[in-house]
Amino acid sequence: MDMTFLFPVQLSLRVAALATLASLVFGVLLGWVFHRYRFPGKELLDSILSLPMVLPPTVLGYYLIVLLGRNGFAGRWLQETFGITLIFTWQGAVIAAAVVSFPLIFKSARAALDGVERKYEDAARTLGYPEWRVFLRVCLPLAGRGILAGTMLAFARAMGEFGATLMIAGNLPGRTQTLSLAVYSATQAGQDSLAAQLVLVISVLCTLILWVSGRLLTPRWQA
């Protein structure tokens, strides 16, 4: 198999894996903060954090360019301090995919943690557990399946990311062309068999992910 097929597949897997990892860390952390604490504007902040789920990807791409572009304030700071440019790089694609997949993990983590009854946390507290151990030994195991299911959905979403990626990382074959971008280019260029192969790969992968995450969400312990 040639690189026109393999490169987009491996790039998409790499981008989606790194993006999912990043949103897993931030999503679970913020999900726990939202589960544990009460603060003013909490539900408004929840809505803002969930925006990437519903906004058009091009709008997200626009925000990211404003933020991370050569004239964006974060972009300029990164450029001047570390010499890092994210625009038109595969790392930029990771950022785009992470932003898009983050709400899926955040939402499911918060819901799963809220679903852990308080009595279990209280029981651990009376047994001498500090808050971080309560989280690790009680909340995470009991919410784990919900979080894992959200993570798998986030991975599938990151694999399929198109609009924001196109705007921030471009569609450079062999550099930033992910699977979904390659399908678009192949169709445009009339390379029907390449397009068909790529479509098959992502369809099978996403079906598998949805099937596994659906199975994860069926409860295992009856109370």
Partner 1 sequence: MFMIGRTSSSRSEESMHPRIEPKAPARTISCDIDTRVSAPGAEFRLRARFEAPGRRIALFGPSGSGKSLTLMALAGLLKPQRGCIEVCGRTFFNAASGVNIPARKRNVGMLFQDYALFPHLTVRDNVSFGLKPVFGPVKAAHRERVDELLELCGLTGLAGQRPAQISGGQRQRTALARALATGPDLLLLDEPFTALDQPLRERMRSELFNILERFDIPMVMVSHDLEDVDHFAQTLVAFGHGRVLEVIDYESRRRAESPRQILDPLFQAAQR
Q: Give the residues lining the site for partner 1 (CB under 8 A).
A: 117, 119-120, 122-130, 133, 137-138, 141-142, 221-223
Both tokens assigned to 108: 């499911």
Nearer to partner 1, 83 or 220 (CB): 220
Nearer to partner 1, 54 or 223 (CB): 223
CB nearer to partner 1: give 138 or 164: 138
The rounded distance, in Å, linking the Cα atoms of 87 and 96 is 11
Q: Determine the Cα–Cα distance for residues 54 and 51; give it in Å rounded to an integer.
A: 6
Residues 6+ away with beta carbon under 8 Å from 136: none
Decide whether 70 or 133 has the Cβ nearer to partner 1: 133
State the minimum distance, in angstroms, from the CB of residue 217 to partner 1. Answer: 16
Token readout for 190 is 């009339």
Minimum separation from the CB atom of position 116 to partner 1 (A): 10
As measured in angstroms, the least distance from the Cβ of 122 to partner 1 is 5
Torsional sign, CA 192, 197, 200, 202: negative
Q: How far is the CB of 35 from partner 1 (least distance, A)?
A: 17
Q: Check: CB of residue 42 under 8 Å from CB of residue 34.
A: yes
